[in-house]
């Protein structure tokens, strides 16, 4: 959903994350970053909310980088606290 945030649907719930206000430099790889973080959350047995939070933070950190440059862990963790999740 890009600048409109993100939705996560499961059998049990629907979660929405508001977009974090940032300076977008490139959207290349943003979806890949989100999916990769989601896979990590599943692999680490994180809750669905924490997995969604990590995926949002990862995607957000990615779009602050030029081109296909990936963010580092510190940059991703910086955004975790800013992710606002609402149940729908």
Is 32 noted as a catalytic residue in this protein?
Answer: yes
- Which CATH number do you get for residue 53? 3.40.1190.20
Between the CA of residue 9 and those of 1, 29, 68, what are the distances in Å?
A: 13, 22, 28
Between the CA of residue 46 and those of 1, 32, 41, what are the distances in Å?
A: 23, 19, 5
pLDDT digits (tens, 9 = 90+) for 48-87: 999 999 999 999 999 999 998 899 999 999 999 999 999 9
Catalytic residue among 32, 49, 50, 82: 32
| pLDDT exceeds 90 at position 12 | no
Total number of domains in the chain? 1
Is pTM beyond 0.85 here? yes
77: containing domain? 2-87
What is the percentage of the chain residues whose pLDDT exceeds 70?
Answer: 100
pLDDT of residue 71: 92
């Amino acid at each position: 959903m890009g600048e409109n945030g993100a939705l996560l649907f499961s059998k049990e719930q629907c979660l929405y994350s508001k977009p974090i206000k940032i300076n977008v430099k490139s959207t290349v790889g943003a979806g890949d970053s989100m999916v990769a973080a989601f896979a990590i959350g599943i692999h680490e047995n994180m809750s669905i909310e924490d997995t969604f939070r990590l995926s949002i933070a990862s995607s957000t950190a990615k779009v602050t980088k030029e081109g296909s440059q990936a963010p580092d862990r510190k940059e991703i963790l910086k955004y975790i606290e800013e992710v606002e999740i609402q149940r729908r």
